[in-house]
A and B are shown apart, each in its own frame.
Chain A
Amino acid sequence: MRRWRAILRPNRPELRATFILALAMLAVAGGAIAWLHTFNIPDECFGNGDVGLLCQPYQGTILAYGEAMETAGGPAAIAVVVVPILVAMVLGIALLGREIEQQTTNFAWSIAPSRTAWLGDRLVPILLLLLTIGLAAGGLGDLLMGLRIRGVDPWQNFEALGLRGPAIAGAALLVFGVAVLVGGVVGRQLPALLISGAVIGFAVYGAFAVSEALVKADAEVAASDQVAIGDKFLDTLIRTPEGEYITWNEAYERYGSAVDEVSYEGTSTSSGLSVVIQYVPGERYPAAVARLSGLLGLGGVAALALTFLVVHRRRPY
C-alpha cells in the first residue's frame, strides 16, 4: 500500500479530483434514486393496462414523479455517463502526456530499471479505480433506467444501450487507454487532449456501429402487439401471403395500392398482406451490452498494450 501511494503520488491532484467527482456522482445519482423511491407508486400504474381503481389515488403523485424524474433523474443519468469518461480522460492524459511534457520521465525512467514495470505499477491501481467507478456509474444508470421505465427490468430493456451498465466501464477503459496512448506518443497535454478526443469519437462510433450491426443480426419479426417495452424496435415490414418479409417500398412495387389497406394491427387484409415489426427482444439485452462493453474495453486494452510499446521505445522528453 505504501509503495502504491508513493508511485501514485505524482497523480495526487487528479486522484483527488477523481474522488470528489465520483462522490458527487454518487450523491447526485444516489440522491435521485432515493428520492424517486419515496414516491412509492406501484409499477402497474406506469403500464398501459386498465388499472383504474388501483392507480386512481396516485394520479397526482405520478405527475410529481414525472417532474422529479426530469429534475433529478435527468441530471443523474448524465452524471453517471460524464463522470467516468471525464476522470478517465484526465487521469489518462496526466499519466504520460504530462510526465513527458514536464520531463519528469527523465527522472522516473532513469531511476526505474524497467519502464514496463513503472508503467504497469501506475496503470493497475488507476485501472482498478476507473473500473470501479465505471461499474458503479453503470449500475446507477441501470437503477435510474428502472425508475424511468417502470415495470421493465433494465437488463431486459434496450433503451439507452451503451449509456448505462457495464458499457460505462468499457467506455471509461477506452477513453483512458486512448488518452494514455496519445499522451505517450504526443508528449504534450493539450494536443494529446484534442487528438484523444477525436480518436475516442471515432472509436466509440465504430464500437456502436459494430454493436448495432450485431444486435440487428438477432432481429426477429412479430405482430406489433407482441412487441413489448424494452424490446429494440428496428423497422416495420410487410408480410406477404407467401410468408416473405419485405420492405414497404418493395411491397408498393409488387402490390401497388393494396398495400394501403394493410392493417397495423397485424391482421391480414383481403390481399393477404400484413404489417409486422422487426425487433430484437429485450431478453437479448445482456448479450448486446456485454458485446458493446467488450468492444469498448477491448479498444482500451489494445491502446494500453500499444502504450507499453511506445513507452519502451520512446525518448523521455
Chain B
Amino acid sequence: MIRTQGLTKRYRRRYALSDISLEIPDGGVTALVGPNGAGKSTLLKLCIGFERPTAGRLEVNGVDPVRDRARAIASIGYVPQTASLYRDLTVLDHLRLAEAIRPGFDPSHARERLGPLGIPIAARVGELSGGEQAQVCLAIALGTRAPLLLLDEPLANLDPLARRDFLRVARLAADEGTTVVLSSHALSEIEDTADRLLVLGEGRVLYDDTVAHSIATHRVIDVDADLDGVDVVARFPGRGDHVHILGRTRSASVGRAPTLEEVVLGYLAEARSQAEEPAA
C-alpha cells in the first residue's frame, strides 16, 4: 500500500506535487495518469527513494522511504521510464547481477517471464528492441518477488504490440497478487489492464476511483442534450465539430458510457479551466 499525507515535492520554484494525500490500496493495477509534469514520475521516484519529499509524509508498505530506504526498496520492483540497462551486458548478466545485489532475487521467475516472449537470454541488451528491453526490466522487477511493482511510463517508447505484451505481463503479475502501479499516457491501452484510476494534474490528485466505477458513474453527452440531473464535470473537444461534456450521473439513459480516456480528459480539462479562472 502507498499512503501519502500532504506530500509535496518542489524543484526550485516549480511544484511537482503539492500537498497531496492519497492511498493506493494493495492488489490490482492502479493507473497513474496525467499530463507531462503532473507529478506521476515524481511520486514513483519518491516511493523508491530516488527523490526526497519537500514536505509531507509518504509510506510504502508501512515504511518511510526517506528514513528506511533499504526496507522500502526491498518491497518494491521498479521499472523506470527508459530501460536503464547495461547495453554491453547480456540479459543473463543482468539476472546474475540482480541476484548478486538483491537478496531473495529469483532469477528463474524472471526467466519464466522472458521465455514466452522469445527474448534470448544470451543476447546483449544493446541488441534488443526497446520493447524487449522494457520486458527485461519488467522481468527483473518481477524477479525481485516484491509485493509492489512501480512501472514508470514503461509504455512510452513501445510499439502497440510491445505495449500489449508488456501490459499482459503486468496484468498477470497483478492477478498473482502483486500490487501494480502503472504510470502511463497510453490511456486507451491501459483501460483493460487497470483496476483503479488515479489522475494527477497541476501537482495534485484530480480523481481517484476504480475504473469500473468511473465508467459506470460518468456519461459523455452532446452539448445539445438535456443536462437535467447531470453534474457537469467538464467540456472537452471531441472529433470534428463535437464538444463532449463529461458528466457525473447514475442514469444510464443519459448520453453514453465514457472511455477511460474521456474520463481522464474530462478531469484534466476541469482542472485546467479551474487553474485559468483566477487569471481570467
Could you list which residues of chain A lie within 8 angstroms of chain B, going by C-beta atoms? 2-4, 6-7, 9-10, 12-13, 102-115, 117-118, 121, 315-317
Bound Cα distance from A9 to B100, whole angstroms: 11
Residue of B whose beta carbon sits closest to that of A315: B50
The answer to whether B51 and A9 touch across the interface, beta carbons within 8 angstroms, is: no
The answer to whether A110 and B103 touch across the interface, beta carbons within 8 angstroms, is: no
Instruction: Name which of A6, A10, A12, A317 has the most chain B CB atoms within 10 A of its CB.
Output: A6
The answer to whether B93 and A107 touch across the interface, beta carbons within 8 angstroms, is: no
Contacts of B57-114 to chain A: CB distance below 8 A: 69-71, 73-74, 76, 78, 80, 82, 84-89, 93-94, 96-103, 105
Residue of A whose beta carbon sits closest to that of B81: A106
The answer to whether A104 and B102 touch across the interface, beta carbons within 8 angstroms, is: no
Bound Cα distance from A12 to B90, whole angstroms: 13
Shortest A267–chain B CB gap in Å is: 73
> Is B245 on the interface with A (CB-CB < 8 A)?
no
Bound Cα distance from A112 to B69, whole angstroms: 10
The answer to whether A108 and B101 touch across the interface, beta carbons within 8 angstroms, is: yes
> Is B48 on the interface with A (CB-CB < 8 A)?
yes
Residue of B whose beta carbon sits closest to that of A117: B101
With contacts A7-B100, A104-B86 taken as known, whether A111 is within 8 angstroms of B144 at the C-beta atoms is yes
> Is B137 on the interface with A (CB-CB < 8 A)?
yes
Contacts of B149-180 to chain A: CB distance below 8 A: none
Residue of A whose beta carbon sits closest to that of B74: A113
With contacts A110-B76, A315-B51 taken as known, whether A103 is within 8 angstroms of B82 at the C-beta atoms is yes
Closest 3 CB pairs of A and B: A106-B84, A110-B78, A6-B96
The answer to whether B51 and A107 touch across the interface, beta carbons within 8 angstroms, is: no
> Is B20 on the interface with A (CB-CB < 8 A)?
no
Residue of B whose beta carbon sits closest to that of A313: B52
Contacts of B137 in A (CB 8 A): 107
The answer to whether A112 and B84 touch across the interface, beta carbons within 8 angstroms, is: no
> Is B140 on the interface with A (CB-CB < 8 A)?
yes
Shortest B51–chain A CB gap in Å is: 7
Q: A6-B93, A106-B80 are in contact. List 8 more A-B contacts (CB 8 A).
A: A3-B100, A104-B84, A104-B85, A107-B140, A108-B101, A111-B101, A111-B140, A111-B144
Could you list which residues of chain B lie within 8 angstroms of chain A, going by C-beta atoms? 48, 50-51, 69-71, 73-74, 76, 78, 80, 82, 84-89, 93-94, 96-103, 105, 137, 140, 144
Bound Cα distance from A12 to B97, whole angstroms: 13
Point out the residue from A7, A104, A317 that lies within 8 Å of B101, measured CB to CB.
A7
> Can you list 19 A-B pairs, Cβ within 8 angstroms, ordered by A?
A3-B100, A4-B100, A6-B100, A9-B89, A9-B97, A10-B88, A10-B97, A104-B84, A107-B85, A107-B137, A108-B97, A108-B101, A109-B50, A110-B73, A111-B102, A111-B140, A113-B71, A117-B101, A315-B51
Shortest A125–chain B CB gap in Å is: 12
Point out the residue from B82, B88, B101 that lies within 8 Å of A112, measured CB to CB.
B101
Bound Cα distance from A300 to B208, whole angstroms: 52
Contacts of A105 in B (CB 8 A): 84
Bound Cα distance from A316 to B88, whole angstroms: 20
Residue of A whose beta carbon sits closest to that of B101: A112
Residue of B whose beta carbon sits closest to that of A114: B70
Contacts of A113 in B (CB 8 A): 69-71, 73-74, 102-103
Bound Cα distance from A102 to B80, whole angstroms: 13
Shortest B189–chain A CB gap in Å is: 24
Bound Cα distance from A13 to B101, whole angstroms: 20
Shortest B2–chain A CB gap in Å is: 16
The answer to whether A107 and B80 touch across the interface, beta carbons within 8 angstroms, is: yes
Contacts of B144 in A (CB 8 A): 111
Contacts of B140 in A (CB 8 A): 107, 111
Residue of A whose beta carbon sits closest to that of B102: A111
Point out the residue from A9, A102, A115, A118 that lies within 8 Å of B96, measured CB to CB.
A9
With contacts A110-B73, A113-B71, A113-B73 taken as known, whether A121 is within 8 angstroms of B48 at the C-beta atoms is no
Bound Cα distance from A114 to B74, whole angstroms: 9
With contacts A110-B73, A118-B101 taken as known, whether A10 is within 8 angstroms of B48 at the C-beta atoms is no
Bound Cα distance from A81 to B71, whole angstroms: 44
The answer to whether A111 and B96 touch across the interface, beta carbons within 8 angstroms, is: no
Shortest B76–chain A CB gap in Å is: 7
Contacts of B50 in A (CB 8 A): 106, 109-110, 315-317
Bound Cα distance from A108 to B105, whole angstroms: 13
The answer to whether A110 and B48 touch across the interface, beta carbons within 8 angstroms, is: yes
Instruction: Name which of B93, B97, B99, B103 has the most chain A CB atoms within 10 A of its CB.
Output: B97
The answer to whether A110 and B74 touch across the interface, beta carbons within 8 angstroms, is: no
Bound Cα distance from A106 to B70, whole angstroms: 15
Bound Cα distance from A108 to B73, whole angstroms: 11
Bound Cα distance from A203 to B217, whole angstroms: 68
The answer to whether B86 and A111 touch across the interface, beta carbons within 8 angstroms, is: no
Bound Cα distance from A114 to B86, whole angstroms: 20
Instruction: Name which of A4, A9, A12, A115 has the most chain B CB atoms within 10 A of its CB.
Output: A9
Contacts of A121 in B (CB 8 A): 100-101
Contacts of B89 in A (CB 8 A): 9-10
The answer to whether B102 and A107 touch across the interface, beta carbons within 8 angstroms, is: no
Shortest A8–chain B CB gap in Å is: 10
Shortest A208–chain B CB gap in Å is: 39
